[in-house]
Amino acid sequence: MRTITRSLRGRLLAWLLAATAALGLAALADTWREAQQTADGVSDRVLAGSALAIAERVVVAEDGTLEVDIPYVALEMLTSAAQDRVFYRVDGPPGTFITGYQTLPTLPRGEGQSTAFDDAVFRGEPIRVATLARSASTGVSSVPFTVTVAETTIARRQLAQSILLHSAARIGLMIVGAAIIVWIAVSISLRPLYRLRTAIARRSPDDLQPIGETVPSEVEGLVETVNSFMLRLQSSLDALRHFTGNASHQLRTPLAVVRTQLALAARAGEAADIQAAIDRADAAVAHAERVLAQLLMMSRIDAAARNAQGGMEELDMARLAQEITADHVPSAAEAGVDLGYEGTAEALVRGETLLLSEMLKNLISNAILYAGRGSEVTVRVRPDQTAGVLIEVEDDGPGIPADKRADVMRRFRRADAKDSRGTGLGLPIVEEIAVLHKGTVALSEGHNGRGLKVTVALPRPDLSDSR
């Protein structure tokens, strides 16, 4: 059962939203940090201004002590929000408290630093504190003092939160806008795929021509794969139609003979006539069986041609030829033919054992069938420096005239059209198997101009791999 997954548009949108949400959270975290820094900066500037305004009102009294007239305007400038509270204290020389909130914490200052800022807690509330160090002149000397000003952080938190909320709203709008844009962009980008789907859906089952629709480059590989599959399927269907046509054409005559002979046997009164009709019917069935076997082999060759390297392996052609020649010795003896093998050297080729065996069987069977009683058939396999490996099947029978040799290499053609002994597929099968293995087939006269010699040249494994 085919599993239907989520649409490509949905996946892209989900990935975009997830990635944008992650980036948005990171941006919000950075915005919160910057908002805190911005709020602290605003608060620090106001605190520093208030502390400076107070420090300007610190003077030295006649008795040498410090006095301060607190400018309440300076404190009012701190109240940026109605709910914030303001605190201050003024200290003279170390250990001398002048005025303000005595328990308000002061801040230590670094070397060369006149004003220090930091967060603290006062009376259970978080505050922002600024401590300013100055000195008051007596005309002869100067008296150091510090001014500490603090404010609660309500307004600062509100400012940071406002900045964060505005940033979150902008990021949210950006995510929504991006999702809409992606939805529209993906829909437009997927239109070629929709057109491709429509074009394929409109095709008839018999239309296996390559798809010619224009598609994005990302989908081009898929379309090429589909086109390649359709071409292979077309080739398979053509092979099936070809096989069916050949089978129906070649089996029609033997089947008609069988029916005729069976009808004659049914009407015959003599046992000898009945047996003769049965023998002729049996011969027709045997012929049909040979034709069907040859047609199946042609289909096997066609399938192997579509997958040229499917079952290729390295094998010794000389050993294979010896085994097949030995298998045909009984049938050759029965036909009155002297069948022999020549050659001892190893002859390596790269090929499919089943097909090469069938090629040798066809060569030897044809030679036995057509050479005639009392003839000799010789099988040879030998290495060749130029061709690679030469396979020869030679007989001293009647042979094939030179002007007929090209014709017998075609399917269902015979040198003598009236000769019904063969199927007309033996030599064509030999040639197709040889071509599949990147070899060649040549027909020539036998020794002393008698008979027929069929020579198959196959490349050595190193030569076949480099072609």
Cβ-based neighbour number of residue 412 at 10 Å: 14
Determine the pLDDT at residue 417.
Answer: 43
Determine the pLDDT at residue 129.
Answer: 92
Determine the pLDDT at residue 121.
Answer: 92
β-pairing verdict for 66-68 and 452-458: unpaired
DSSP state letters, 128-187 = EEEEEEEEEE-SS-EEEEEEEEEEESHHHHHHHHHHHHHHHHHHHHHHHHHHHHHHHHHH
CB within 8 Å of 306: residues ≥ 6 apart = 232, 235, 236
Determine the pLDDT at residue 467.
Answer: 46
Of 306, 331, 353, the domain-final residue: 306
DSSP designation for 126:
E
Full domain range(s) for residue 296: 217-306
Q: Kindly report the backbone phi and psi dihedral angles of residue 462, in degrees, each rounded to the nearest multiple of 5, phi listed first.
A: -70, -35
Pick out the chain residues at pLDDT < 50.
1, 415-420, 422, 466-467
Q: What is the domain count for the chain?
A: 3
Find the CATH number of the domain harbouring 54. Answer: 3.30.450
Of 163, 196, 225, the domain-final residue: 163
Find the CATH number of the domain harbouring 299. Answer: 1.10.287
Determine the pLDDT at residue 253.
Answer: 60
User: What type of residue is 56?
Assistant: E
In a domain, 5, yes or no: no
pLDDT in tens, 108-126: 876 667 889 999 999 889 9
pTM of the predicted protein model:
0.45
d(CA 415, CA 370): 11
Determine the pLDDT at residue 466.
Answer: 47
Determine the pLDDT at residue 462.
Answer: 67
- Are residues 150 and 44 part of one domain? yes
- Are residues 329 and 301 part of one domain? no
